[in-house]
Amino acid sequence: MCESVFKVLLIGDHSVGKTTFVASYVLNKWVPNLKTTVGADYAVKSVKWSETETIRLHLWDIAGQERFHSIARTYFRGASGCVVMFDVTNNKSFESAREWKQELDSKVELPNGEKVPCVLLGNKDDLVDKKVVTQSQVDKFARENGFIHYSFCSVKEGKGITEPMSELIKCMLEQE
């Protein structure tokens, strides 16, 4: 049995759903009104990748610091992968995704000098009537800014959570 451990960062504007995403992914259920149950340092998610391979993800959430855009360098250190999250009902959070990606690339790189693989996730896709960010906008943005994958998700409905994480794991394994 072989096990790989990866540090994965979750970044994005305040209230896009990062903490809820981590909790739901780790606990496999929707956790409303979350306080600080997850998020001291990181939460651990084990993924059975194949018969012989288990992946352990250390998911680093930024609890509150995102408001000030002053994330400590230690947070980025040793990261193997990243999720930049925005809220599909909040255009500002989508615009911020560019800055978050730039911050990631300026603060950390892989040991081989490559960029840290990063997934772009548009959350709250259940709020159909309030959605302001379109598929084509995200498509263009993700290609221009070097994301390895992008998709929409609804943590609330439990949709689109595991697929993008699998894409990230694939990429992290290739970079190992």
Asked whether position 124 contacts ligand GDP by CB under 6 A, the answer is: yes
Total residues at interface with ligand GDP (CB under 6 A): 15
Which of the stretches 46-54, 94-102, 112-120, 151-159 binds ligand GDP when contact is defined by CB under 6 A? 151-159
b vs e for 129-168, b when ≥16 Cβ sit within 10 Å of the residue's Cβ?
A: eebebeeeebeebbeebebbbbbbbbbbeeebbeebbebb
Asked whether position 123 contacts ligand GDP by CB under 6 A, the answer is: yes
One residue of 19, 24, 80, 123 binding Mg ion per CB under 5 A: 19
Residues 93 and 16 sit within 8 Å (Cβ to Cβ): yes
Q: What is the crossing angle of helices 135-144 and 91-107, to 10°?
A: 10
Asked whether position 152 contacts ligand GDP by CB under 6 A, the answer is: no
One residue of 1, 2, 29, 32 binding ligand GDP per CB under 6 A: 32
